[in-house]
Structure 1
C-alpha cells in the first residue's frame, strides 16, 4: 500500500487498493475516524458518527467478496436522508429524537454496493433557507462551506470521508463543491430515487454525491446504474467542442468566478479543445424568477404539515414560506412551469451541439461568515432545467479559497458528461496537490 494516509486517498484509489489486497476497509475507516477526531471539532461537518458500528461493518466487509463498486468505502449521508441505524434530524429542533426504521432508497443502494455509512452530515434545516449548519470551510474556518449540503461538502473537502451525499433544490450541491475544492455530480432529475429524503420541491429536488476525482463520481454512477454507465467510453480533450456559457447572470460573477472561467477556457484551448461562446436566448434570464416561484410554491406545500405542528416554533424563513410571504400566485406558478418546460427543450437542442457546456459553479470564493451559504444564481437554472452537472475544482481565488466550474449537458446525458469530465479533469484541475498539501498539514 502507498505510504499516504488512507483518508487522503480518493475513493477510486482506495477501491483499487482494497481490490488488490493492499488496504483493508477497516484501515480506511479507522483513518477517516482519526481524521474526524482530529479535525471535526473545528470543521463541524458531522451531526452523528458511530465509530464502533463503522468498524464492525468494515471488518465484516473485509471477510466478504466484493459487493459492488463501493465495497469497503466510507460514505457520509446528508441528514435529510433516512438511515435505519442512525438518527435523522433534518437539523431541526423539532426532529432531534427522530429514528427512522428504514433507509432512504439512495442510502440502501450504496449499502448494497458495499459502502459503509460513516455518519450523518450537517445541513441547513430541511435543506431549505432556514437554520444554518454549524459546518465551516476547511480552508478557512471563518468562511462558509456552502449549503445546504454544508457538512457533506466540508467532510469530503477536509479528507474526513471520500464520499458523501448532497442534494440540490437551488444550488445546494454544486456550490459547496466549488467552495470546498471537490468534485460533484448533480445527476439528471429523476435518475436517483428521492424516497426517504425530505422533500421541498418535486420538480427541483435532486440527489447527488461528492468525491475527490471524476473516477469517484463514476463509481457512484455505477452504483446507481445511471443510464448508459456500462458503456462509458474514454475521451480525449483534443477536438472536444465545449460551449462557454456565462449565463444571463454574469453580472453577479465575482473575481473568483471570472478567474475560474477564464482559466478553464484557456486551459481547454491549450489542450486542443474547441471552445465556442454560447449566449442563451433572452428569456432564459427569467428562469431565476421562475425557479424562485417553483421553489417557494412547492416548498409551501412541503412544509405545511410542519407549520401545523408548531407554527410558533418554526424558523421565521420557513414560516414565511408557508404563509406565502414570497408572493407566489397560481398564475405566476403556471407561468414558471411553462417557461421551464420550454427552456428545457431549447437548452437540450443548444447543448446537443457540444460535448459539454462550461458554466460558473458559484459566484466566487466562499463568503465569510456562517450566516450565509452563498448565492445560488449560477445553479438554479440548471436545477430547473433538469440537466446533469459535474463540478470540477479549477483555481484558488484571491483569498486562497477554491473556486470551481461546472460542466453541463442535455437531460439524461450523464454518462457522456462524465466521460468528458474524466478527459478534462487533468486539464481543468491543476492544483489538486496544492489542496492536499494545505489540508494534510492542518
Structure 2
C-alpha cells in the first residue's frame, strides 16, 4: 500500500509511531495528484515545493494532535494565508487575502498539511461550474459545489478536505464520490474567512474515508460531547427510515440504496422503522429557496455595484435583482420561511430520541448526473440544511455504471458527537462489509 492510500486514521497512527514521515506521505500524495489531475481536475491550486517544505517542517516537531502531517484539501471559497482563494470567479483571479479562515487555522494548528485549494462551483453558488470530473466515472459530475474536495478524497488524492453546504453542496458530493462526510450543526464550526452566501444556511463540513477520519477532525473542533466516551450497540438501535416529502424526486438507485441500507442494518440487529415527517415539513424546500436567494441578494450586492460587474455571472445578477426565484422573494416569504424553519427545528428535535435514535434518509436523488453542466439536485439536503441539524454521509455501494450511491444519517441539533458514535455502529453494516456491492434500481 502506498502512503496516499492510507486513511487519515491509519496514517496518523504510523506518523505517531515514526513508521511514516510527513514528507513521505506528502510526496506520495503529490505523485497521486500529478497522476490523476489531468483526468479528475480536482484542484485549482497546488504548490508542490511548498507542500514538501511544510511537510519537512512538520517532521522536525513532535505531533501535537492526531492531525499532524495528514493531507487536507481546502475548498476554494475558504481563505488560506499562503494560497490564493479564487472562488472560481474572474473577479478573484489570483486573489490572496493573507489570512487563514478559522476552520483552516484550527486544523493547521493541529499539524494538518494543507495540500492545496480544490475546485468549486463559482462562489459555492452557481455561474461557472467546477471543471472537476467524477473519479469513478469521468462522464459524470462529482456533485457540487464542493466538487474538487469530494472528488479529491474520493480519488485518494488527499485524506481529508473541507467543503461547505448552503443547500446540498457537501453531503451530495459525498454520496456522488463514495466517501464519508459530515455537515455539522449550523454554527458549530466558525465560518469566518469563508465566502458568505446565506448566513442562515452556510455551514462548513469535512470529508474523510471513514467515520474514524471524520471523528479525528471533529475532535479538533471540540464539537460538543465529542470527548465523552460512548459505544453505541447496533443491536437494538432504532433507525428511522425517512423517505422525506420529496421521495418522488429520487431515482430508482436512490430508492434502492436507502432500502438496501435499511435491510443491511436490520440484518445486523438494528430496529428499522418508517419515519414520516409531519406534513408541514413539505414546505421546507421552498422555504430554503426563499432564504438562500433572499439572503444572497445582500451577499452579492457589493460586487454587483462594483466596477467589475461585467465579470459577474448572470446567476448572481439575477439573485441581486430578485429575479432568480419565481415568484420573486418578498418580505412575507422570508418571514414565513424563517418561522416555518423555527417551528420545524423544534418539532424535529423533539421527535428524537422520543421515537428513534437516528434518522436515515437519501443523500442525493440518485446517480450523479451525466456531464458537468449540473452538479445535481439538492432537494434531499436543503431541508436538513435549513433545519440546522447535523448530517453524516455513508456510502452504500455503486450503480452498474460504477457511480457511487450513499445515504445520510441525521440527528437533532448539536447532537453531532452522538451522530458520529451512531455512525461508527452503522457504517460497517451499511458500507464497509459491502464495499463492492452493486445496487440495482
Q: Find the counterpart in structure 2 of residue 402 from structure 1.
A: 404
Whether 1:389 and 2:391 are equivalent positions in the alignment is: yes
- Give the distance between the partners of 1:366 and 1:30, measured in 2 at CA: 31
Q: What SS does the aligned partner of 1:303 have?
A: helix
Q: Which moved more, 1:291-300 or 1:353-362?
A: 353-362
Tell whether the 8 Å contact from 1:130 to 1:318 is kept in structure 2 after alignment: yes
- Give the distance between the partners of 2:353 and 2:414, measured in 1 at CA: 11
Q: What SS does the aligned partner of 2:66 have?
A: coil
Q: Find the counterpart in structure 2 of residue 263 from structure 1.
A: 260
Pairing partner for 2:313 from 304, 312, 315: 315
- Give the distance between the partners of 2:86 and 2:52, measured in 1 at CA: 23
TM-score (norm 2): 0.96
Q: Which moved more, 1:306-315 or 1:357-366?
A: 306-315
TM-score (norm 1): 0.96
Give the deviation of 1:352 after TM superposition: 2.3
Q: What SS does the aligned partner of 1:391 have?
A: strand
Whether 1:344 and 2:358 are equivalent positions in the alignment is: no
Tell whether the 8 Å contact from 2:146 to 2:164 is kept in structure 1 after alignment: yes
- Give the distance between the partners of 1:312 and 1:85, measured in 2 at CA: 29
Give the deviation of 1:59 after TM superposition: 1.2
- Give the distance between the partners of 1:232 and 1:195, measured in 2 at CA: 30
- Give the distance between the partners of 1:419 and 1:291, measured in 2 at CA: 29
Pairing partner for 2:420 from 418, 421, 430: 418
Pairing partner for 1:185 from 174, 178, 182: 182
Q: What SS does the aligned partner of 1:392 have?
A: strand
Gaps of 5+ in 1: 436-442
Whether 1:284 and 2:260 are equivalent positions in the alignment is: no
Tell whether the 8 Å contact from 1:69 to 1:222 is kept in structure 2 after alignment: no
Gaps of 5+ in 2: none
- Give the distance between the partners of 2:248 and 2:82, measured in 1 at CA: 46
Q: Find the counterpart in structure 2 of residue 273 from structure 1.
A: 270
Give the deviation of 1:433 after TM superposition: 5.4
Tell whether the 8 Å contact from 2:369 to 2:376 is kept in structure 1 after alignment: yes
- Give the distance between the partners of 1:69 and 1:340, measured in 2 at CA: 37
Q: What SS does the aligned partner of 2:310 have?
A: coil
Pairing partner for 1:368 from 367, 370, 377: 370
Pairing partner for 2:244 from 243, 247, 263: 247
Q: Find the counterpart in structure 2 of residue 304 from structure 1.
A: 301
- Give the distance between the partners of 1:432 and 1:117, measured in 2 at CA: 32
Q: Which moved more, 1:334-343 or 1:424-433?
A: 424-433
Deviation string, structure 1 residues 273-304 (Cα, Å, up to 9, x no partner)? 01111110111000000000000000111000
Give the deviation of 1:234 after TM superposition: 2.0
Tell whether the 8 Å contact from 1:395 to 1:431 is kept in structure 2 after alignment: no
Q: Which moved more, 1:255-264 or 1:385-394?
A: 255-264
Tell whether the 8 Å contact from 2:397 to 2:434 is kept in structure 1 after alignment: no
- Give the distance between the partners of 1:430 and 1:332, measured in 2 at CA: 44
Q: Find the counterpart in structure 2 of residue 35 from structure 1.
A: 32
Tell whether the 8 Å contact from 2:395 to 2:404 is kept in structure 1 after alignment: yes
Pairing partner for 1:128 from 125, 128, 136: 125
Q: What SS does the aligned partner of 1:231 have?
A: coil
Give the deviation of 1:428 after TM superposition: 0.4
* Residue correspondences, number: 432
Q: Find the counterpart in structure 1 of residue 206 from structure 2.
A: 209
Q: Find the counterpart in structure 2 of residue 440 from structure 1.
A: none
- Give the distance between the partners of 1:401 and 1:244, measured in 2 at CA: 23
Structure 1 pair 36–264 and aligned structure 2 pair: CA distance change class (3 A): same
Q: What SS does the aligned partner of 1:312 have?
A: helix
Q: What SS does the aligned partner of 1:167 have?
A: strand
Give the deviation of 1:399 after TM superposition: 2.1
Give the deviation of 1:185 after TM superposition: 0.4
Deviation string, structure 1 residues 41-98 (Cα, Å, up to 9, x no partner)? 1100000001111111111111211121211101000000111100010110111021
